[in-house]
């Protein structure tokens, strides 16, 4: 196993690595500073797009461009012009919330949740954006939405409310996009002081979670048991995604500054995009939004 820095743009809050198999390019974001980045597998040809608000996540569209979950709702992003167009703000009466992490299911729906910006109260929700641009609320009572991902067959949806310190599992109806039977997939309490942030599922059906403030990546078997633990060179790791031509490189984002003063800092180099090679594990291709 080999860990290297791929791009060091010192993101204030690096998040959401997304490998696109069609373009063979990696996207990631700076949530705090409102930026979308793109690069080759080895960190060349870096491009950046500014968005007008804090950004929680993004997905690519089948017809080109992207959907971005910004502080005040879902938006389209046109890569050619840089223009941003509002789709829908699901929480117009919740000024202390913003949209956060999200991913696309097998049918081309974008599932993303919101977060309490003070990361204290269970005031946030989980949403599904359908290709016809209808927005449906899937769950409530969330502090910080993170780590949405699916089992290889798409029938189990994983999700973390970060400060509950657990990863949840839901039954996922691929035909309707409905969730049911919420339960605890695994608890991360007592694992080095961190909490579950971004996540992905590999081709073997194992869940990878970035332990933010804990400086670790954890791999869980489908039964929720811990299979592997990787120590990272920084404490504030935020998310993970497999990419590269063979989907066998694990990309890891990190933050350079804690979002609130009460959260721990560390003296290590941070804000970089990392790549982990030679794991002997492959990921799954991410889907594009069908709308």
Share of the chain above pLDDT 70, in %: 95
**Whole-number average pLDDT of the chain:** 95
Please tell me the distance from the alpha carbon of residue 140 to that of residue 246, in angstroms, as a whole number.
37
* Residue 228 pLDDT exceeds 90: yes
197 annotated to a ligand binding site = yes
* pTM of the entire predicted model: 0.96
CA–CA distance, 256 with 14 (Å, rounded to integer): 8
Q: Residue 195 pLDDT > 80, yes or no?
A: yes
- The whole-number pLDDT of residue 190 equals 74
In angstroms, the Cα distances linking 13 to 23, 32, 35, 108 are 25, 5, 10, 27
Q: Give domain limits for the chain.
A: 2-277
- What band does 192 get if pLDDT is binned at 50, 70 and 90? low
Active site residue 197: yes
Where does the pLDDT of residue 107 fall: very low under 50, low under 70, confident under 90, or very high at 90 and above? very high
Averaged pLDDT, 32-38: 97
Catalytic option among 197, 223, 227, 265? 197
Confirm or deny that 204 is annotated as ligand binding.
no
CA distance 114 to 241: 21
Q: Is 246 annotated as contributing to ligand binding?
A: no
Higher pLDDT, 257 or 116: 116
Residues 6+ apart with CB under 8 A from 63: none
For the ranges 19-33, 76-90, 98-112, 251-265, the lowest mean pLDDT is seen at: 251-265
Q: 96 labelled as ligand-binding? A: no
Q: Is the pLDDT of residue 261 over 80?
A: no
Q: Quick one: fold of 2-277?
A: Neuraminidase (2.120.10)
**What's the pLDDT at 275?**
98
Q: What span, in angstroms and rounded, lies between the C-alpha atoms of 72 and 98?
A: 6
């Amino acid at each position: 196993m080999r860990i290297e820095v791929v791009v060091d743009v010192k993101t204030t809050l690096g998040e959401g690595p997304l490998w696109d198999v069609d373009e063979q390019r990696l996207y990631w974001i700076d949530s705090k500073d409102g930026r979308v980045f793109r690069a080759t597998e080895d960190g060349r040809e870096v491009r950046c797009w500014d968005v007008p608000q804090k950004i929680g996540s993004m997905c690519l569209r089948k017809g080109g461009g992207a959907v971005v979950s910004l502080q005040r709702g879902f938006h389209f992003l046109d890569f050619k012009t840089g223009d941003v167009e509002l789709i829908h703000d699901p929480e117009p009466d919740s000024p202390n919330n913003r949209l956060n992490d999200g991913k696309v299911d097998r049918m081309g729906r974008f599932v993303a949740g919101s977060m309490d910006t003070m990361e204290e109260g269970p005031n946030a929700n989980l949403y599904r954006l359908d290709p016809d641009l209808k927005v449906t609320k899937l769950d409530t009572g969330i502090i910080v939405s993170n780590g949405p991902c699916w089992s290889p067959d798409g029938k189990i949806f994983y999700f973390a409310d970060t400060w509950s310190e657990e990863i949840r599992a839901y039954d996922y109806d691929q035909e309707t996009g409905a969730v049911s039977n919420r339960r605890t997939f695994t608890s991360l309490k007592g694992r080095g002081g961190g909490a579950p942030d971004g996540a992905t599922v590999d081709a073997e059906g194992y869940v990878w979670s970035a332990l933010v403030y804990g400086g670790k990546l954890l791999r869980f078997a489908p039964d929720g048991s811990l299979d592997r633990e990787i120590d990272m060179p920084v404490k504030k790791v935020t998310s993970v995604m497999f990419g590269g031509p063979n989907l066998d490189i694990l990309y890891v984002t990190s933050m350079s500054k804690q979002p609130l003063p009460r959260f721990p800092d560390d003296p290590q180099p941070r804000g970089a995009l990392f790549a982990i090679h030679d794991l002997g594990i492959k990921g799954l291709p991410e889907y594009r939004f069908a709308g």
